């Protein structure tokens, strides 16, 4: 059966005109387990690639490598919180790398937590359906927080950093990836591309922040020892090349519906423009909560 529009896709397309209170959940309800542009089934990150994206076999390695790289910064054997865990593919990887005493996966999209149930069970992870900016945990609950490619969706990065700081124990680590925006659009083509991305992914204008702004928000929340890496050439460039190849293949084989492939092609072209014109990059950020006396709850 060829890939076509699902009822959730159509709801997503309709919602692009006017998102409700929870745009991320509308988007990710639509995407489901078999997202056409996903680099590998069940994975929603862009991957940390070896090579330029021309070898399709790299894709399933790249998505894991990105998570392994971030999870390597988590304290070993601690209580770990995974914020915005997607469909749960990353949780067994986090469990393997960080060998946590406990693993908690927090996601605002309930359908993803349900779809990822088996992978969460494999990782011995507890699922929590909640917002990253209002976490239902006591202060000093975790030794590590990991957040892979999700923070641009949050209603406020400042509120996320403040929550991550609150729930981490002193000395705890936050390891995350994000998509910083280095400049505002110049001219109509760039403006259309930027707007298309914001609408398609249900993002607020405040999602557009530079790497320096993002690191500044982390330090304003109290985090120290920031390590910042910009790796768009290992993430965005090869991922775009890979999906262009996938679209080419679909156009030739006609397995997916033509309108579906065209819509995906338009999205990829807009993302290409933002990358080619150096408007977006990919950030790996590791910060630490300073050691200090615990503050009583409440
Ligand atoms: C681009 S996906 C990344 C998923 C996964 N980390 C991965 O890399 O495959 C963004 C994830 O963030 C989640 N998310 C978006 N907004 C959220 C929020 N306010 N609180 C918690 N999770 C959120 C989405 O439901 C989705 O799972």
Q: Give the pLDDT of residue 20.
A: 63
Per-residue tens of pLDDT for the chain, all 298 residues:
345 667 666 666 665 555 566 777 877 887 766 677 789 999 999 999 999 999 999 999 999 999 999 999 999 999 999 999 999 999 999 999 999 999 999 999 999 999 999 999 999 999 999 999 999 999 999 999 999 999 999 999 999 999 999 999 999 999 999 999 999 899 999 888 888 888 887 788 888 999 999 999 999 999 999 999 999 999 999 999 999 998 888 788 877 677 777 888 888 888 999 999 999 999 999 999 999 765 565 5
Residue of 104, 120, 149, 153 to mutate, ligand 1, most atoms within 8 A of C-beta: 153
pLDDT recorded at residue 10: 64
Mutation choice for ligand 1 from 62, 84, 284, CB with most ligand atoms inside 8 A: 84
- pLDDT confidence of residue 17: 56
CB 282 within 8 A of CB 69: no
C-beta 132 within 6 A of ligand 1: yes
pLDDT in tens, 237-275: 999 999 999 888 878 887 767 777 788 888 888 899 999
Task: Provide the 3-class DSSP secondary structure of residue 121.
Answer: helix
C-alpha of residue 216 to centroid of ligand 1, in Å: 22
Predicted local confidence at residue 1, as pLDDT: 38
What SS3 state is found at 28? Answer: helix
Q: What is the pLDDT of residue 23?
A: 78
Residues 95-105: pLDDT tens digits?
999 999 999 99
Q: Distance from the CA of 112 to the center of ligand 1, in angstroms?
A: 9
Instruction: Pick the closest to residue 192 from 259, 267, 258 (CA basis).
Output: 267
User: For residue 29, what pLDDT is reported?
Assistant: 80
Q: How far is the CA of 119 from the centre of ligand 1 (A)?
A: 16
What is the Cα–Cα distance from 184 to 278, expressed in whole angstroms?
11
- Angle between the N-to-C axes of helices 59-71 and 232-253, in degrees from 0 to 180, rounded to the nearest 10: 150
Q: How many CA atoms lie within 13 A of 137 on its CB side?
A: 31
Tokens representing residue 218 in the block? 């982390």
Distance of CA 83 from the midpoint of ligand 1 (Å): 7
Tell me the whole-structure pTM to 2 decimals: 0.89
What are the pLDDT digits (tens) for 10-46? 666 665 555 566 777 877 887 766 677 789 999 999 9
Which H or E run includes 226? strand 224-230
CA of 189 to the centre of ligand 1 (A): 28
């Amino acid at each position: 059966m060829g890939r076509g529009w699902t009822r959730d896709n159509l709801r997503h397309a309709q919602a692009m005109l006017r998102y409700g209170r929870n745009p991320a959940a509308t988007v990710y309800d639509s995407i489901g387990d078999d997202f056409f542009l996903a680099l590998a089934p069940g994975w929603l990150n862009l991957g940390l690639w070896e090579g330029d994206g021309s070898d399709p076999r790299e894709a399933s390695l790249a998505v894991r490598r990105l998570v392994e790289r971030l999870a390597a910064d988590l304290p070993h054997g601690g209580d770990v919180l995974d914020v915005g865990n997607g469909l749960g593919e990353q949780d067994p990887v986090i469990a393997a790398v960080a060998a946590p005493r406990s693993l908690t996966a927090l996601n605002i999209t309930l359908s993803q937590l349900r779809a990822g149930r088996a992978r969460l069970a494999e990782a011995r992870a507890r699922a929590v359906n909640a917002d990253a900016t209002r976490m239902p945990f006591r202060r000093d609950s975790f030794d590590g927080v990991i957040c892979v490619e999700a923070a641009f969706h949050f209603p406020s990065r400042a509120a996320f950093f403040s929550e991550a700081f609150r729930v981490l124990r002193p000395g705890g680590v936050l390891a995350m990836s994000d998509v910083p925006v280095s400049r505002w659009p110049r001219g109509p083509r760039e403006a259309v591309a930027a707007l298309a991305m914001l609408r398609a992914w249900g993002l607020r204008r405040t999602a557009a922040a530079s790497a320096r702004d993002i690191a500044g928000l982390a330090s304003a929340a109290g985090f120290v020892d920031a390590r910042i890496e910009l790796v768009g050439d290992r993430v965005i460039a090869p991922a775009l090349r890979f999906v262009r190849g996938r679209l080419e293949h679909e156009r030739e084989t006609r397995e997916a519906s033509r309108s579906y492939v065209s819509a995906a092609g338009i999205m990829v072209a807009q993302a290409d423009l933002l990358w080619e014109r150096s408007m977006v990059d990919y950030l790996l950020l590791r910060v630490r909560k300073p050691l200090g006396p615990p503050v009583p709850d409440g």
